[in-house]
Amino acid sequence: PSPLPTLIGKKRDGERLEDAEIRSFVRGVTEGTAQHGQIGAMLMAIWLRGMDAGETLALTQAMAASGRTLAWPPAWHGLVVDKHSTGGVGDKVSLALAPALAACGCKVPMISGRGLGHTGGTLDKLEAIPGFCISQSPEEMCSILERVGCCIVGQSEVLAPADRVLYGLRDVTATVDSVPLITASILSKKAAERLSALVLDVKFGGAALYPTQESARELARSLVEVGTQLGIRTVAVLSRMDQPLGRAVGNALEVLEALECLEGGGPPDLRQLVTVLG
């Protein structure tokens, strides 16, 4: 593949990147040979010019392959599931849904993210619990799933390391709301999890990344299409985010509200969305 500045120029000019060129870019991100300025320039070129379905799939596969792929016991076949939300104010669904799915016999190896844009991150919320550790090795994840059925962890040098770099840089380069970048970020983590099924909560409205239902539907289509091509049974739910979900906003407060939900209480809108996604 051509040098990285050439690839940046190619995408800036609206040309299509070949699979090998996309893999070369992701390798530079993972190995640290690509400068932050170059990565930011490529992110902006993708944001401005977009990517077709083939490019988006190639980017997702390259990011998933940047780290280890998780492996599960044969007895768990068909039981390994996950959920992802595009994020919204007060969205603490993962904290209630993952243990609820585990209680139903599923295995939920959720690789989650930190706050992005104005939305809070599941990992940040969990770290409001004193001593909570969001960094677990693949072996530790398997042990936790064996014992309790679910875990929520962060990207690492081992799991989706390319996404770890790109996720942080998207937040500071105004490239968060790009359909191919969101698709690749979400699904590279999910591909590394070796899932049987995935449900996506795609938000729209005044407090979401996408203000209109139609723009959210475009992202949902991209996620379902690429997820299916990765061999994951993928569905998307469009949910309204014109106001905060539930009553609590703020990391520790949202953890407490999720616990209320798990105990059969909590706000009706939170309970309903956890149930629908489940």
Query: Could you confirm whether 11 is annotated as catalytic?
Result: no
Instruction: Mark whether 83 is an active-site residue.
Output: yes
Task: List the alpha helices (DSSP H) in 149-250.
Answer: 161-172, 179-192, 213-229
Amino acid at 274: V
Q: Which of 178, 189, 201, 222 is catalytic?
A: 189
Residue 203 bears catalytic tag: no
Catalytically annotated residue among 11, 23, 83, 92? 83
CA distance 44 to 26: 15
- Verify whether residue 49 is a known catalytic residue: no
Give kind and range of the element (H or E) at residue 98.
helix 93-103
Asked if 77 is an active-site residue, the reply is no
Q: Judge whether 65 and 19 are in contact, CB under 8 Å.
A: no
Catalytic residue among 84, 92, 107, 114: 84
The question of whether 60 is a catalytic residue gets the answer no
The verdict on whether 85 is a catalytic residue reads yes
Active-site option among 190, 201, 203, 239:
190
Residue 259: Cβ within 10 Å count: 15
Of the chain, the end-to-end C-alpha distance in Å amounts to 43
The label of the residue with tokens 């609590």 reads 248
* Annotated catalytic residue, options 23, 164, 170, 203: 170
- Characterise 145 by phi-psi region: left (phi > 0), alpha (psi -120 to 50), beta (else): alpha
Q: Which of 245, 230, 232, 242 is nearest to 276 (CA)?
A: 245
Question: Quick count: other Cβ atoms within 10 Å of Cβ 38?
Answer: 18
Catalytic residue list contains 189: yes
Please pick, among 86, 185, 222, 234, the residue that the annotation labels catalytic: 185
CA distances from 167 to 94, 128, 150, 174, 257 (A): 19, 21, 23, 11, 27
Active site residue 122: yes
Which residues on neighbouring strands pair with residue 151, listed in sequence order? 109
Q: Which is the catalytic residue, given 60, 112, 119, 122?
A: 122
Distance CA 47, CA 1 (A): 22
The active-site residue out of 24, 30, 60, 85 is: 85
Residues that are catalytic: 82-85, 122, 170, 185, 189-190
